[in-house]
Amino acid sequence: MRFSFIQTLIFISFLSVFHAQKISGNWIGILTNLTQDSSEAIPVLFSHQVILNFSNGTFRIEDHGAVLQYEVSGAITNKKNFTLNSSKSPMIKPKGGASVPFSFQFFLNDSSGYVESIFNAPGSPYHGYHLYLERDIKSYELVATPILSTGISKAMLSSIKQGIPAKDKRFKELQQFEFNPVYFGYNEFTVDSSYNDYLKRICRILKSHSDLRIKIIGNTDGDGSEAFNLELSKKRSNEIKLILIRNGIRADRMIEEYNGELFPIDSNETDEGKRKNRRVDFQFI
């Protein structure tokens, strides 16, 4: 199907508005010196609107109660990677405090979901710091007193160091995540190394969502006595639990359930059915 010239212009205009909406708004984040073993997470807020191919907004730094706020703007040629420059003088600054203009790249990393950049401000104590931003749906009144939470900033730094993605990315990963059983050999409870990456993905989801807990459900095939199979299913679920603990998940975020042979998902009359029944299942709770 061919588009007319006018239809093409309308389509391009629609895409431009769509992408502008995706990056316009509030982005909350931190400035941090990741080149050192630093726990410093200086709260920042970037609020802007994109109209056609131009961004205009404010960039706010709150460092130990001192507020520094600039107007920032820049032309956009790539919706996920463009340069923003501050005004020469700040809109808000501490009394007697020095102020230095700056620039940074608005580089949206598709893998992490964060805007990631190096803060370019020669003469400023933040020059060369790493800048991380993630989308924030809250509304802010940009007054002369601090409005950003240092606790949230430290939590964000901790997430970044652990490789946990930005909020938008985390929720998308959770929505798309599907559990698969972990299968075991006959009369075995050792977890095969082929499941390592899958279990790390489960850990990543749990670390990304502190409100989630996980139920680990052990099962067996029908061979052996009920008492033996109940104990074997307990060993299987416990082995999974130990792996999650070694990957940084607290024990109090896990519940174990041992079913033994009670809940087969296939026939215990065939080897393939028995293989499917020797498993650990999962649920988020």
CA angle 49, 133, 163 (to 5 degrees): 150
Q: What pLDDT is stored for residue 99 in this prediction?
A: 86
Q: What pLDDT is stored for residue 16 in this prediction?
A: 41
- CATH of residue 124's domain is 2.40.128
- Single out the residue of 181, 186, 250, 190 nearest to residue 216, CA to CA: 181
Q: What pLDDT is stored for residue 255 in this prediction?
A: 98
Residues 6+ apart with CB under 8 A from 151: none
pLDDT digits (tens, 9 = 90+) for 49-66: 999 899 999 999 999 999
User: Above 90 in pLDDT, residue 14?
Assistant: no
Q: Is residue 15 part of a domain?
A: yes
Q: Is residue 182 part of a domain?
A: yes
Q: Is residue 256 part of a domain?
A: yes
Q: Is residue 172 part of a domain?
A: no
pLDDT digits (tens, 9 = 90+) for 16-39: 443 455 799 999 999 999 876 678
Q: What pLDDT is stored for residue 38 in this prediction?
A: 75
Expressed as residue numbers, the domain containing 217 is: 177-284
Distance of CA 250 to the CA centre of its chain: 19
Cα 112 from Cα 153, distance rounded (Å): 17
Question: Chain-wide mean pLDDT for the chain?
Answer: 91
pLDDT digits (tens, 9 = 90+) for 140-195: 999 999 999 999 999 999 999 989 999 999 999 999 999 999 999 999 999 999 99
What average pLDDT does the segment 249-254 reach? 98
Answer with the one of 129, 162, 195 that is the final residue of a domain. 162
**Stated pTM of the model:** 0.81
What average pLDDT does the segment 187-206 reach? 97
**Number of domains the chain contains:** 2
